[in-house]
Structure 1
Amino acid sequence: MLTRNITALITPMEASGAVDYAALERLMNHQIQSGTTALVILGTTGEAQTLTAQERWHVIQTSVALAAGRIPIIAGTGSSSTADAIAWTQQLENSGIAACLTVTPYYNKPTPAGLLQHFTQIANHTQLPQILYNVPSRTGCDLQPETIARLAELPTIIGLKDATGDLSRVSRLRGLLPKSFILLSGDDVSALDFMRLGGDGVISVTANVAASAMATLCQLAVDRQWEPAELLNQQLYPLHQALFIESNPIPVKWACHRLGLIASNTLRLPLTPLSAPAQQRVEDALAAANLLPSIQEQATCPH
């Protein structure tokens, strides 16, 4: 179940800034009912870097309890410190999560040799399955296919989230990796083409607001029904783009609030609310994806 349409879930917050656990339950139930196959908790979209260690632990414990075995939970566990990443991963050993999403160490800019040792050390200190996460636009380092192939020899490293947007890598990776190794796109804009070239699914930001549509898109890709998949993707394409008009998760949190999925559009500094011009861009994309309620529906909705 760690393939197809996986949602990188936002962390809802109250106006006070505290984590909104009631909203988290509503979001998870919505995702499950919409056909999402797994959830990433405390990834980039989940604002893990602005939560305290105690909050991160509580969010994961709560998410696993709320999922109640209905959907796998993948937890973000990466750190720029190898020792911290090992400690955090070990803390989650008996938490009930299905896998870890382990981002490349940011800011340090390690060499390929350093990346190899970093992930090897984490893998050697846990039995939890590890999904590598390569997002050089945020971390300042790039996990090369040849390094990934060496890491794939370790039994606990089972997959990769590739957020480079570089589609030429898919064929290279498929040629270097075992068939069982999971390849997931981390870029909604190119996710359909990623799957067309041999990828197994997407860890999606768009799915926060279009969970059912993303589930359908991934199922069409699995069934190799490329024409209807392309038509659906064209409808979602403005949304894929608009949700990154400012730093993720700023736009997607605003969109979730606009759709009534969360009560408060609260972020923690240094993230700030979506600017007014960007709000209109996201609004237009939601409309293009047929996600906004009609005027008649809005008139009958309780306020």
Structure 2
Amino acid sequence: MFGGSIVAIVTPMHADGVLDLPALGRLVEWHVEAGTAAVVVAGTTGESPCIAPDELDAMLRVALEAAAGRIGVIAGTGSNATAHAIELTRIAAAAGAGAALVVTPYYNKPTQEGLYRHYEAVAREGGLPVILYNVPGRTAVDLLPETTARLAEVTGVVAIKEAVPGPERARRLRALCGDRLDLLSGDDATAMDFLLAGGDGVISVTANVAPRLMHGMAEAACHDEPRKAAALNERLAGLHRALFVEPNPIPVKWALTRMGLIEAGIRLPLTPLDPAHYDEVRAAMLRAGVEIKP
């Protein structure tokens, strides 16, 4: 159901932090033309902690209108309160999203049983297919493969975005879950290896800036063409690093402003990219063949 290069799309904002919905629509159209398989609205890269429920609804409706059925639209609906995650998932379902990307509850550090019950409740009551999202580096909790395998038996749980770097987690998940879940990398730097180890796709930050290259790399890796995938990934490697010189989405929003695709809006507590990193990000963009506006 889910695979290929999926972009964790930024949330365009004006300089004062107000949503720029027309820019979001234009970005979605750009991704359609570039071969991106789906967009995730209001994920981590979309500044989900700072997006209000009514804004999520508005963003999804704009993205869905722009996508017009040509690519999938996935909503970020995670929360560290199960009831709130269900509420956000219901909002996304009413807007027409195709699935919900639900991050593991952060900060309160639930047990593995708590994680299982959280996701089972969202899948049962939210009204959308659920993509599990495991990113221990941000949440301080790791959804273990054994728990994921239990969740693969839950009706409505369809995929996992796994942000533990490297191919070993992909191999373990495939061994435990078989084909019951789609496996999506959540780590751009090791996504190629994840895909070659049996993954189905990637939910990518880098795809915001170089969607065609990410599409090509993912397609090659998923079709077991390691040489082609490696050649494309070599061009992307600098972006994989540079877009994380400060916490995501600070660098990627700066890059998109340099491309003339969005205004330089970002919400506190995130701040604009430190000028000390401009040259590194710009060099990585040029290496990937990204056009920078004068």
TM-score band by shorter chain is over 0.9
Deviation string 1:71-123 (CA, Å, 9 cap, x unpaired) is 11000011000111112212333321110000000110111111111111111
Aligned residue for 1:49? 49
2:56, 2:92 within 8 Å by CA — same for their partners in 1?
no
Deviation string 1:181-225 (CA, Å, 9 cap, x unpaired) is 100000000000000000001000000010011111111112222
Aligned residue for 1:162? 162
- CA 1:199–1:37 in 2, change beyond 3 Å: closer, same or farther? same
Q: Residue 58 of structure 2 aligns to which amino acid in structure 1?
A: H
Q: How far apart are the structure 2 equivalents of 1:226 and 1:129?
A: 31
Q: How far apart are the structure 1 equivalents of 2:215 and 2:240?
A: 15
Aligned residue for 2:189? 189
Deviation string 1:119-138 (CA, Å, 9 cap, x unpaired) is 11111213411000000111
Aligned residue for 1:278? 277
Aligned residue for 2:264? 265
Q: Residue 193 of structure 1 aligns to which amino acid in structure 2?
A: D
The alignment of Structure 1 onto Structure 2 pairs a total of residues equal to 294
Q: How far apart are the structure 1 equivalents of 2:91 and 2:35?
A: 30
- How far the C-alpha of 1:170 sits from its partner, in A, is 1.1
Tell me the SS of whatever aligns to 1:93. Answer: helix
Give the TM-score, by structure 1 length. Answer: 0.94
Q: How far apart are the structure 2 equivalents of 1:10 and 1:82?
A: 25
Aligned residue for 1:171? 171
Deviation string 1:266-297 (CA, Å, 9 cap, x unpaired) is 1000000000111111011111112135xxx9
Structure 1: 5+ residue stretches without partners: 299-303
Aligned residue for 1:142? 142
Q: How far apart are the structure 2 equivalents of 1:161 and 1:5?
A: 12
Aligned residue for 2:123? 123
Aligned residue for 1:228? 228
Tell me the SS of whatever aligns to 1:92. Answer: helix
Q: How far apart are the structure 1 equivalents of 2:152 and 2:284?
A: 38
Q: 1:67 aligned to 2:60?
A: no
2:57, 2:95 within 8 Å by CA — same for their partners in 1?
no
2:158, 2:182 within 8 Å by CA — same for their partners in 1?
yes
- How far the C-alpha of 1:62 sits from its partner, in A, is 1.8
Give the greater-gyration-radius structure (CA).
1
Q: How far apart are the structure 1 equivalents of 2:141 and 2:93?
A: 27
2:46, 2:249 within 8 Å by CA — same for their partners in 1?
yes
2:8, 2:39 within 8 Å by CA — same for their partners in 1?
yes
2:41, 2:76 within 8 Å by CA — same for their partners in 1?
yes
Q: Residue 80 of structure 1 aligns to which amino acid in structure 2?
A: N
Aligned residue for 2:104? 104
Q: Residue 290 of structure 1 aligns to which amino acid in structure 2?
A: G
Tell me the SS of whatever aligns to 1:94. Answer: helix
Aligned residue for 2:290? 291
Q: How far apart are the structure 2 equivalents of 1:126 and 1:177?
A: 23
- How far the C-alpha of 1:16 sits from its partner, in A, is 2.1
- How far the C-alpha of 1:166 sits from its partner, in A, is 3.8
Q: How far apart are the structure 1 equivalents of 2:220 and 2:102?
A: 28
Q: How far apart are the structure 2 equivalents of 1:204 and 1:275?
A: 23
Calculate percent identity across the aligned residue pairs. 47
Q: Residue 158 of structure 1 aligns to which amino acid in structure 2?
A: V
Tell me the SS of whatever aligns to 2:93. Answer: coil
- How far the C-alpha of 1:180 sits from its partner, in A, is 3.9
Q: How far apart are the structure 2 equivalents of 1:193 and 1:221?
A: 8
**Structure 2 counterparts to residues 247-266 of structure 1, below 5 A:** 247-262=247-262, 264-266=263-265
Q: How far apart are the structure 2 equivalents of 1:187 and 1:54?
A: 29
Aligned residue for 1:243? 243
Q: How far apart are the structure 2 equivalents of 1:3 and 1:212?
A: 15
